[in-house]
Structure 1
C-alpha cells in the first residue's frame, strides 16, 4: 500500500505523489521509510539525497539540509534547497 510523499523547498513543491519507499540521509544516518513506519522527525544533511521509489521507478532529489517528517498521513520533506537529479 503506497504512502503520500511531498518534497518541498521554500521556492516550490519539488515532487509529490504516492510512493512505496523513501530513503533519506539524516544527521543520525540513512533511514528508509515504508508504509506504516512509526512517526519521526529527522534532520537532513546538507548535500544529501532523498530517493523515492514508486513501483519500479526511483526518483532522486538532491537536498541541502532541512527536515524529514513521518506521520500516519505519509512523509513530508521540507528542504532548504531541493532539485530533482538530472534536471
Structure 2
C-alpha cells in the first residue's frame, strides 16, 4: 500500500516528518484532504490545523499560520510561517 512522505516545517525549524496515510489542511480555498496517489498540487495555507493520520490510525496535529502546501509523487510538504504541534 502506498504511503505519503510528510514534512511539516516552520520558517525556522522542522515540526514533524514521517510516513502517513492522509493529510488534512486548511487552505484559503477551504479544507483539503490528501491521500496517496493525489495529483500534484500547490496551495496557499490559511491559518489553522494540519492533521496527519499515521499508518496505525493515530494522528498528529499541528497549528500552522500561513504558508503553502505542496504535493508531488506521494510527498506532502507543509511550509508555514509559524507552526507547532498541538
Q: Same fold (TM over 0.5)?
A: yes
CA contact (8 A) 2:4 2:21 kept: yes
Deviations 1:28-86 (A, max 9, x none): 1100000000000111112x01000002101100010000000014100000000000x
Deviation of the 1:3 alpha carbon? 1.2
Aligned residue pairs total 84
Q: Could you say which residue in structure 2 is the equivalent of 1:28? A: 29
Look up the SS of the partner of 1:81 in the other structure. strand
1:51 and 2:31 aligned: no
- Gaps (5+ residues) in structure 2? none
Q: CA deviation at 1:10?
A: 1.5
Report what 2:7 is aligned to. 6
Structure 1 distance, partners of 2:79, 2:26, is 13
How far did 1:18 drift? 0.3
Q: Which residue of 2 aligns with 1:62?
A: 63
TM-score between the two structures when normalised by the length of structure 1: 0.93
Between the aligned partners of 2:77 and 2:50, the Cα distance in structure 1 is 11
